A and B are shown apart, each in its own frame.
Chain A
Amino acid sequence: MPTALFELTLQFLTLSLLSFGGAAAALPDIHRRVVDVHGWMTNSEFTQMFALSQAAPGPNVLVVCLIGWKVAGVLGGIVAMTAMCAPSSVLTYVVAHASDRFREAPLRVAIQNGLVPVTVGLIVASGYVLTVNTDHGVPAYVVTLLSLAVLVFTRVHPLWVLGAGGIVGMLGLLAH
């Protein structure tokens, strides 16, 4: 197997079991491995991949597919996505099989309650890391803050928010 495919597989196999709270919570670590450790893409390429993945239909773990594609083509996309989903899926299957027995177990309740605040911190950190790597200049920060506010305080569909951001960008208002 070519080195890049092998490395992709290895990286996402481990990330799969670390992604408590889903792909969004693991995003800073994906960024760290993909940009800082392996140098597979630049900061701005990474955030472009993320934006593209958000503009496509599907779960937000799709960013992993796009990163794999960027690194090693279509095969890379398939390999990265499979690696990201396989270990956690096997674990889920096994645990679901046994779960009836310990659904109310105090330890499971404690694990679940304990992980919630950790996940909250990780996801806000994801947003922060994306923001500082994406936004250059005050107008871009304003777009990020406005989209945050609209999504927190209204029920507007996220796709409208992404579209509005795209239009602001297309008009050249964020160019620097």
Chain B
Amino acid sequence: MHSLPSGPPVATPPSLRTLFFRFMEVGLSGFGGVLPFARRMLVEQRAWLTEHEFAEMLSLGQFLPGPNIVNVAVMVGRKFHGVRGSFAAVGGLMLMPMAIVMTLGALYAQFAELAVVRNTMGGVAAAASGLVLAMGFKMARAIRTRPVAIGVAAVAFAAIAFARLPLIWVLGVMAPVAVALAWWKRL
């Protein structure tokens, strides 16, 4: 019932402490992307946001630079407790994963001389490259029927992958061109 798309959220607003710990759970539940878990917690389990509010926050979070999930956490925290809420949500989200990833790094450094550890990480790395490629290809489905958009994506790809141009130049040229194309409905 909490996932009904209309109407105001039925839950009472969370305290700073609750924000912190619920976002901590979200941060710990996903591997290589936690947005689906954030949606489940915010919309379905806690009803802090309606489906529509979540979609809006997500689209704004994706539209702005920065990690999408961090941007969503900033907006959710802000909605309930302003600046302090944003700190609680982002802090809860990042604290444990940061501790865990640095611990993993230290463990890996400790055992990297072992061939079996190096080999295992080589396999994980090869699979992880496929993971990023898959993310790109899945997103590409959204533009697959639009030749101009595919062209824009291809130029951005070549500029980074083959020409190895700095991101700031690529965005500095391509973002205005792409936005102009979208503005004139040519994309």
Chain A count of residues within 8 A CB distance of the other chain: 110
**Which A148-176 residues sit within 8 Å CB-CB of chain B?**
148-152, 157-159, 161-162, 164-175
- B101 nearest CB neighbor, chain A only: A56
A129 to B97, CA, bound (A): 25
Cross-chain contact A113 with B182 (CB below 8 angstroms): yes
Cross-chain contact B64 with A114 (CB below 8 angstroms): no
Cross-chain contact A59 with B69 (CB below 8 angstroms): yes
Specify which of A27, A124, A171 is in contact with B153 (CB 8 Å cutoff).
Answer: A124
CB distance from B178 to the nearest CB of A (A): 4
Q: Mark B149-173, 1 if CB is under 8 A from A, else 0.
A: 1101111110111001011101100
Cross-chain contact B175 with A20 (CB below 8 angstroms): yes
Cross-chain contact A144 with B32 (CB below 8 angstroms): no
- A111 nearest CB neighbor, chain B only: B179
Cross-chain contact A144 with B130 (CB below 8 angstroms): yes
Cross-chain contact B129 with A127 (CB below 8 angstroms): yes
Specify which of A27, A47, A158 is in contact with B125 (CB 8 Å cutoff).
Answer: A47
Residues from chain B with Cβ under 8 Å of A24 in the complex: 132, 135
**Interface majority SS (helix, strand, loop, mixed), chain A:** helix
Given the known inter-chain contacts A58-B100, A165-B124, A169-B122, please indicate yes or no for A117 contacting B134, CB distance below 8 A.
no
- B75 nearest CB neighbor, chain A only: A96
A66 at the interface (CB under 8 A from B): yes
Cross-chain contact A28 with B161 (CB below 8 angstroms): yes
Cross-chain contact A166 with B120 (CB below 8 angstroms): yes
Residues from chain B with Cβ under 8 Å of A78 in the complex: 98
Interface segment, one of B11-19, B41-49, B86-94: B86-94
Cross-chain contact B149 with A116 (CB below 8 angstroms): yes
CB distance from B69 to the nearest CB of A (A): 5
CB distance from B15 to the nearest CB of A (A): 20
A130 to B136, CA, bound (A): 13
Cross-chain contact A114 with B161 (CB below 8 angstroms): no
A60 to B101, CA, bound (A): 11
CB distance from B41 to the nearest CB of A (A): 14
Cross-chain contact B105 with A66 (CB below 8 angstroms): yes
Residues from chain B with Cβ under 8 Å of A19 in the complex: 65-67
A47 to B17, CA, bound (A): 36
- A87 nearest CB neighbor, chain B only: B66
**Which A95-110 residues sit within 8 Å CB-CB of chain B?**
95-97, 99, 103, 106-110
- B138 nearest CB neighbor, chain A only: A152
Given the known inter-chain contacts A169-B121, A174-B122, please indicate yes or no for A92 contacting B75, CB distance below 8 A.
yes
Cross-chain contact A116 with B74 (CB below 8 angstroms): no
Name, among A60, A81, A110, the residue most crowded by chain B CB atoms within 10 Å (CB to CB): A60
17 contacting pairs across A/B (C-beta < 8 A): A22-B62, A47-B125, A54-B124, A54-B131, A58-B27, A59-B67, A84-B67, A89-B70, A92-B74, A118-B174, A120-B142, A123-B135, A128-B161, A143-B130, A144-B129, A158-B33, A169-B120
Apart from A29-B166, A58-B93, A119-B139, list 4 A-B contacts with CB within 8 A.
A92-B61, A93-B86, A103-B56, A147-B127
Nearest 5 interchain pairs by C-beta? A169-B123, A88-B66, A58-B97, A165-B127, A121-B156
| Interface residues in chain B, defined as those with a beta carbon under 8 Å from any beta carbon in chain A | 27-34, 56-57, 59-71, 74-75, 78, 83, 86, 90, 93-94, 96-98, 100-102, 104-105, 108, 115-116, 119-140, 142-143, 146, 149-150, 152-157, 159-161, 164, 166-168, 170-171, 174-175, 178-183, 187
